[in-house]
Every structure is written in C-alpha cells, then in structure tokens.
Amino acid sequence: MAKKPVLAVTSGEPAGVGPELCARLLDRQWPARLVVLGDIGLIRERAGDGVPVVAYEASAEPSSGALEVLHLPLSVHARAGVLDPANGRHVLALLDRALAGCRSGEFAGMVTAPVHKGVINDAGVPFSGHTEYLAEHTGTPLVVMMLVGGGLRVALATTHLPLSAVPAAITREVLEETLRILHADLVARFALPAPRILVAGLNPHAGEGGHMGREEIDVIAPVLEKLRGEGMHLMGPLPADTLFVPHTLEQGDAVLAMYHDQGLPVLKHASFGGGVNVTLGLPIIRTSVDHGTALDLAGTGKADPGSLFAAVELAIHMAAGARS
C-alpha cells in the first residue's frame, strides 16, 4: 500500500478560529497524516473535552484517533478574540517550521489557517500575507494566487492592487510568466496533461475592438498568440461578463482573471464557505482557507470548518498529483 502523505496544518492566529478549526480535523477520516502546528496547550483548550490531542513525533507511527500537534509554544497565553502582538512571531514560527518540513521532505505540503496581518506588523515584523512571505522565503520571484471551489479554478494576474494600478501592472512579461506558472502547476499539481485556460480581458467587452481600451490588443492577445505557438490551450481574451456562463466554463479547466474583483466574486458565490486559496509557482504545495481569523467567533465553537476541510482535501489531491 502507498504510504499516506504527511501534511502540515498551521493553526494560524492564536486569538482567532484557526486552533479550534484544526481540532475539528478529527471529525473526518483522511487519506493522509495531518500534523497541526501550534501550541499544544492552546489546541487542547480550544478543542475541548473529549478530543484527544497528542504530541507529534516524526519517527513514531501516527496516533490513531488523536490529533497530532507539533508543539511550538506561544509567547504569552492567547485569549480567544483578543489579539496580542506578543504572539506575532509565534505565528511566523509556525510558517517557518512548516516550510522547513516541506523543503526537507518531512511534509508533502502545507495547509494554512488564517493569520492577522495587522497584529504581526504590530509585533515589529513587516508582513503583507502568507503568499508574499512564502515567496520571499523560498526565493520565488513570482507566485500566482488561485482560488478553487464550486467547480471553478480562478487564478489572478494581479492581486491586491487598487483598480487604478491594475492596467500598468499587466505587462506582457508578467502575463506570460503568470500563464506559464498556471499552466505548469495545472500539469504538475492537478494532473491535467493539457490544461485548457480561459483568459479574461481587462476591459468591458474585452475592449470592444479597441473602443473600450487597448490592453487586449497591445498586451493580452500577443501573449496568448505566443504561448499558443508553444502548444498551450488558451482561449481569450474573453469578455469577463460572459466568461463565467456554463457553456464557456465547460470548455476550460481554469480561468485567469485580470484582477481580484473580476474573478473572485463569482467563485465565492459558487463556493461560499468551502473555497480554497492555492499559491502556485512555489517549490512546495500550499493551500489555505479563504476566510479570515473571525475573532468574533473564536472560542464559541460555531466556526465552520468547511474551508479548512476543502483546503486539506485539495492539498492531498495535489500531493497525489505531484507523486504520479
């Protein structure tokens, strides 16, 4: 029998819902060994009575029916719903350990619970997000954000930019590299040997032949033509308002949207509560929940684990694709 992959699951911001969502991983049987990274005392506290929590030992057999925790201690006790900058570096230590384990082969991939960017910055560490942090610490010059859920895969050519800055950010060079990364990871991580990618235009009606903008003519179309010449299956540039209709979507395996709010509202409507954020282009597998720390729900037991479960499922699927 094939050995189960081992996945690191970081518990994220200790004042948020991450620790208790990680405890819910015992609600299911998984075709993987899941190792939660966090403070074992905090995980036990948030898990509540009746949830067995044990210390992870890499050399030992997995503990059946118990939650395995790789203990990384908090700096100070964490109260549910109350942020404390003193624990900002603890959150980064979880990421560092998960990344080290992925790079050494100890873990087949990592799944991340939500962090709070503000409190990490308040701890004196400049931090703009998981994606940027992992890219920097793996020496990856360009990564691609893709959301998966509701039967859709939607990648982004640009991410968290003001709308006014988007056109200048979409250069031929960036778009070409983004499509190369998307294509390569659909092949390597999603086991799609000839992925079909639907590429949105930037402007209404994909520019209406230049009457509503020339980015499609000057930037997007030339890149698509070049990459089609290399054998990629690319459709576009397509008007975004009709790209997400069933007839068009069934012709593709993934969508490349030009900016954040062009593609993600559609995906989140289709997958509310069960979407997954995937970082493409990294040398490791990384998936994440598509929600924040939900401080108002922390400690109540009411947080929905659906997105975390979906992120774990996808990481397992990607790990299988990487081994095949």
Do 136 and 75 share a structural domain? yes
Strand order in the sheet with 109-112: 53-55, 67-71, 33-38, 6-10, 109-112, 286-289, 276-280, 144-149, 152-156, 254-257, 196-200, 233-238
* Amino acid letter, residue 189: R
> Residue 218's domain spans which residues?
141-281
* Residue 1, pLDDT score: 43
Residues with Cβ within 8 Å of 303's Cβ and at least 6 positions away in sequence, in order, are: 17, 20, 21, 294, 297
- For the cut 70, the answer to whether the pLDDT of residue 102 exceeds it is yes
Do 135 and 146 share a structural domain? no
> Is the pTM of the predicted complex or chain greater than 0.85?
yes
CATH code of 241's domain? 3.40.718.10
Residues 55-80 have pLDDT tens digits of 999 888 887 889 999 999 999 999 99
Do 136 and 6 share a structural domain? yes
Do 146 and 131 share a structural domain? no
Q: What is the pLDDT averaged over residues 234-254?
A: 96
Do 20 and 135 share a structural domain? yes
Do 19 and 57 share a structural domain? yes
Residues 256-308 have pLDDT tens digits of 999 999 999 999 999 988 899 999 999 999 999 989 999 999 999 999 999 99
Residues 141-194 have pLDDT tens digits of 999 999 999 999 999 999 888 999 999 999 999 999 999 999 999 999 999 999
Do 311 and 256 share a structural domain? no
Structural element, H or E, at residue 54: strand 53-55
Taking the CA atoms of 61, 62, 66 and 70 in sequence, report the sign of the dihedral they define.
Answer: positive
State how many domains the chain has. 2
